[in-house]
Structure 1
Amino acid sequence: MSHSVTSILSQIRTYQTQMGTTAVNPLAETPQTNALQGLAGTQDVQAPSFTDTLKGALAGVNEAQQKSGALARAFELGEPGADLAKVMVASQQSQIAFRATVEVRNRLVQAYQDVMNMPL
């Protein structure tokens, strides 16, 4: 089970690097000099929010599915640049990305339900 979580986290980090943002490690210690750096006139760079990261991942999945559909249509129409190997690889990539997205959604829903069922 931890392998699938690691896989999903690595995919999210991959999407972040494709978007040009840096991955945030919540377990890393934050430096104590951030407040002093802010006072010295340097601007702190905001880490991407969870919402932005999730939107970027969903946009990447959508893009993979659109590319897969376009390649499949091109292959069906007999266009010379679309061969079966490219179509199948794109189809599998979009399918894996969609499955990972569904798995992340399921984990988020389960975590929400766990929090809501906690006694006060």
Structure 2
Amino acid sequence: MSVQGIDQLLGELRSMSALASGQSVNQPNQAVDGPNFADVLKESIDQVNQVQQEAQTKQVAFQAGDPDANLQDVMVSLQKASLSFQTMVQVRNKLVTAYQEVMNMQV
């Protein structure tokens, strides 16, 4: 089901809910202004990628014997990269679970 189809379905559900509660229906197909989900997701993935690249750069500099690279900064950046990646994996798992639940709903 496409995003437009989901938006249309949500609009219809909202209008039915408003009718059932006795409220008037005002523009049932009005889109909600806000950030685009795909853009937010892509930005988050890009941030995780950037943190991982910075950690790798610090690690390589330390391994090469760069005098400006110290072990504490390398370890902290590697832990940040690991934590951000684990968080992104958990977000992905939640999205997959939510998608599966939506697809299993009976209409």
State the TM-score bracket (shorter-chain normalisation): 0.5 to 0.7
Which residue in 1 is equivalent to 2:92? 105
Q: TM-score, normalised by structure 1?
A: 0.60
Query: Unaligned 5+ residue runs, structure 1?
Result: 1-45
Structure possessing the higher radius of gyration over alpha carbons: 2
User: Of the candidates 55, 63, 68, which is equivalent to residue 81 of structure 1?
Assistant: 68
CA RMSD of aligned residues (A): 1.0
User: Of the candidates 36, 43, 53, which is equivalent to residue 49 of structure 1?
Assistant: 36
Deviation at 1:82, TM superposition (A): 0.7
Could you tell me how far apart the structure 1 residues matched to 2:34 and 2:61 are?
40
Residue type of the alignment partner of 1:116: M
Residue type of the alignment partner of 1:51: A
Pair 1:118–1:47, CA change in 2 (3 A): closer
Query: Where do residues 33-44 of structure 1 align in structure 2 (5 Å cutoff)?
Result: none
Q: Give the secondary-structure state (helix, strand or coil) at the position aligned to 2:34.
A: coil
Query: Unaligned 5+ residue runs, structure 2?
Result: 1-32
User: Of the candidates 42, 63, 78, which is equivalent to residue 50 of structure 2?
Assistant: 63
Q: Looking at both structures, which has the greater relative contact order when contacts are Cα pairs under 8 Å and sequence separation is at least 6?
A: 1
Could you tell me how far apart the structure 1 residues matched to 2:66 and 2:41 are?
35
Could you tell me how far apart the structure 1 residues matched to 2:101 and 2:61 are?
46
Identical aligned residues as a percent: 44
Deviation at 1:47, TM superposition (A): 2.9
Which residue in 1 is equivalent to 2:18? none
